[in-house]
Chain A
């Protein structure tokens, strides 16, 4: 039996609130992996994970949005069933989904950066729709670019083939998710933020 005698170092007030929100958004993105809608052009259904990335960037900003998705990746690697189809583990982080998963924290930070700038958070309800859409478009491009390159490298196929298999059937639905995210920001859900 050993006893620790170091003094307790309290976490600052602001950090506590931000950690709680970042962790809850990471869990929400994981829960979105289970919300699937039938995909008319592919046997693989459309899930809402990317919507989680968009909303983390918009509601938490460039710093904590990125931290939130880093929590998501670490929890998934540690075994929380938060990746596509409820899978988990270290494998997806280096497998064919590697590019997509690693792009999430980057995309959330970029979306936060475009929407809020880098000098403090604005109230999402006051941000112009054009700016929200631009942020999410940038995020979508980053996610699919890194995802396609990752798939191509890991699966040893060309970029066109990688895009065909891993992205083509899902890209059209990103427009719907962007529209849904704007709707969420403009709805009373945002008032809780």
Chain B
């Protein structure tokens, strides 16, 4: 799992807003120039980002392992074409390896975008991400999103543990023999009960502590490295439209 690790790499020192901007600009540019030459350049750039965050490409790939079957399957499926009018079955199946080239480039582009995301995840603390979101999205919407993000981080491990306990208890009592619908309903009911119980206690605690629209956030400051980061992001964004 890709999570934050403290460090002093170049990527750690960048402001989270710069990093978010760089990711968005990188994705836009990679979508605009999905050619072998363009992707070769983006590979170098993504490699540079990985070095800047001291993230191993293997670790980054491991974090997105569930994505790989889909990225491989899309080009493969595109090579197969099924039509009507075959001699025996009435279906004609054709194979066209050339049809895979476009989807293959597209898959590679997505892989590069995921690698760049991995650098952000490894080098940005949750508090900083929350502060960046709250400052990038204006007004109360941003504040609401900031609170929501912080609470999801806080409660995800607790709810996961709730669900794990329920599943273990169910497995121990041969719950795996029951129909799929019952098993899903059992887990979901327990999850809902846990979520509502925790939400009600949280709401009481928030009211008791005078939950306010203007919380104290960690200070974010643009430094000299951010100027270079923003310049690169602007360059990528302009490149995406040229």
Once bound together, how far apart are the Cα atoms of A193 and B195, in whole Å?
10
Q: How far is the CA of A161 from the CA of B70 in the complex (A)?
A: 12
Task: Give Cα A68–Cα B29 distance, bound, in whole angstroms.
Answer: 31
CB distance from B32 to the nearest CB of A (A): 13
Instruction: Using CB atoms, name the residue of chain B closest to A175.
Output: B181
Contact between A155 and B110 (Cβ–Cβ < 8 Å)?
yes
* CA A27 to CA B192, docked complex, whole Å: 11
**A104 at interface, CB cutoff 8 A:** no
A164–B70 alpha-carbon span in the complex (Å): 11
Q: Which of B147-204 contact A (CB under 8 A)?
A: 147-149, 151-156, 158-160, 162-163, 167, 180-185, 187-200, 202-203
Q: Is A34 an interface residue (CB 8 A)?
A: yes
Q: Is A95 within 8 A of B106, CB to CB?
A: no
Range of interface residues on A (Cβ < 8 Å): 35 or more
B224 at the interface (CB under 8 A from A): no
Interface residues on B, range: 35 or more
A16 at the interface (CB under 8 A from B): yes
Q: Is A75 positioned at the interface, with any CB of B under 8 Å from its CB?
A: yes
Q: Which residues of chain A are near B106, meaning CB under 8 Å?
A: 154-157
Residues of chain B within 8 A of A75, CB atoms compared: 148-149, 152-153, 156
Given contacts A21-B196, A74-B133, A78-B130, contact A34 B155 (CB under 8 A): no
Instruction: Tell me, yes or no, whether A120 is within 8 Å of chain B by CB.
Output: no
Q: Which 7 A-B pairs have the closest CB atoms?
A: A85-B66, A71-B148, A89-B117, A91-B117, A23-B151, A75-B152, A78-B129
Q: A96-B110, A97-B67, A187-B189 are in contact. List 12 more A-B contacts (CB 8 A).
A: A24-B155, A71-B152, A77-B133, A78-B129, A79-B126, A85-B65, A87-B66, A155-B71, A165-B77, A177-B184, A179-B181, A183-B185
Interface residues of A (CB under 8 A from B): 4, 6, 8-11, 13, 16-17, 19-28, 30-32, 34-35, 37, 43-44, 48, 51, 55, 59, 67, 70-72, 74-75, 77-82, 84-92, 94-97, 151, 154-158, 161-162, 164-166, 173, 176-177, 179-181, 183-184, 187-190, 192-193
Chain B: residues with CB nearer than 8 A to chain A? 1-4, 20, 23-24, 27, 31, 34, 63-67, 69-71, 73-75, 77-78, 102-103, 105-107, 110, 113-118, 120-121, 124, 126, 129-130, 133, 144-145, 147-149, 151-156, 158-160, 162-163, 167, 180-185, 187-200, 202-203, 206-207, 210-214, 216
